[in-house]
Amino acid sequence: MSDSFFILFLLSNILLSVIFSIIILIKRTLKIQITVSTQYHISVISLLALIAPFIPFHFPKTNDFFGWIVNLGGTHSGLSHRDSAGKMAEAIGPNANWVQDFAMSFEQSSFKMIDSAFFAVWILGIALMLMTAVYSNLRIGKLKKSLQIVKNKELLTLFDTCKEEIACRRKVILGYSPLIKSPITFGVIRPYIILPKDISMFSADEMKCVLLHELYHCKRKDMLINYFLCLSTIVYWFNPLVWYLSREIKTEMEISCDFAVLKKIDQTLHLKYGEVILKFASLKQRTSPLLAASEFSSSYKHVKRRIVTITKFQAESPLLKVKSALVFAIVAAVILAGIPSVSILAMHKETYSFSNTNVDYKDYSTFFDKFSGSFVLFDSDRKKYTIYNKKESTTRFAPASTYKVFSALLALESGIITKNDSEMAWDGIRYPYQEWNQDHDLFSAMSSSATWYFQKLDQQIGEARVRDYLKSIHYGNEEFSDPAHYWMDGSLKISPFEQVNMLKKFYYNEFDFKQSSIQTVKDSIRLEESNGSVLSGKTGTLVINGEHHGWFIGYVETVDHTFFFSVHIQDGKLAAGSSAAEIALSILEEKGIYQSGSQ
State whether 263 and 317 are in the same domain: yes
Strand-strand pairing, 294-295 and 372-379: unpaired
For residue 555, the model assigns a pLDDT of: 98
State whether 161 and 228 are in the same domain: yes
Structural domain includes residue 518: yes
Cα-based distances in Å from 42 to 31, 261, 303, 330: 12, 20, 21, 10
State whether 278 and 385 are in the same domain: no
> What does the alpha-carbon distance between residue 366 and residue 368 come to, in Å, rounded to a whole number?
6
Length of the chain: 599
State whether 428 and 327 are in the same domain: no
State residue 543 phi and psi, 5-degree precision: -125, 120
> What does the alpha-carbon distance between residue 172 and residue 220 come to, in Å, rounded to a whole number?
13
Amino acid at 482: D
State whether 317 and 428 are in the same domain: no
> What does the alpha-carbon distance between residue 215 and residue 165 come to, in Å, rounded to a whole number?
10
State whether 416 and 329 are in the same domain: no
Give mean pLDDT in consecutive 10-residue pieces for the chain, a chain of 599 residues: 62 84 87 87 88 62 40 42 34 46 58 73 93 89 89 91 92 90 89 86 86 93 92 92 91 91 88 85 66 78 84 84 90 80 58 84 92 96 95 93 97 96 93 90 94 95 96 93 85 95 97 97 95 94 85 95 96 84 96 81
State whether 373 and 487 are in the same domain: yes
> What does the alpha-carbon distance between residue 148 and residue 467 come to, in Å, rounded to a whole number?
69
> Strands, DSSP E only, in 144-189?
148-149, 173-177, 184-186
Structural domain includes residue 486: yes
- Last residue in a domain, options 342, 374, 409: 342
Structural domain includes residue 540: no
Structural domain includes residue 108: no
Q: Which residues lie closer than 8 Å to 296 by C-beta, 6 or more apart? A: 182, 183, 184, 210, 213, 214, 254, 277, 280
For residue 405, the model assigns a pLDDT of: 97
- Last residue in a domain, options 342, 377, 392: 342
State whether 494 and 458 are in the same domain: yes
Strand-strand pairing, 173-177 and 192-196: parallel
State whether 314 and 364 are in the same domain: no
> Strands, DSSP E only, in 393-454?
none
For residue 171, the model assigns a pLDDT of: 92
Structural domain includes residue 435: yes
For residue 77, the model assigns a pLDDT of: 42
Residue 383: CATH number of its domain: 3.40.710.10
Structural domain includes residue 571: no
State whether 325 and 365 are in the same domain: no
> What does the alpha-carbon distance between residue 129 and residue 195 come to, in Å, rounded to a whole number?
29
Q: State the catalytic residues.
A: 401
Domains held by the chain: number? 2
By residue range, what is the domain housing residue 518? 350-528+557-565+581-590
Cβ–Cβ < 8 Å for 511, 505: yes
Structural domain includes residue 97: no
- Last residue in a domain, options 326, 342, 358: 342
> What does the alpha-carbon distance between residue 89 and residue 433 come to, in Å, rounded to a whole number?
8
Return the sign of the alpha-carbon dihedral for residues 382, 386, 390, 395: negative
Structural domain includes residue 99: no
State whether 322 and 463 are in the same domain: no
State whether 160 and 300 are in the same domain: yes
Q: Which residues lie closer than 8 Å to 29 by C-beta, 6 or more apart? A: none
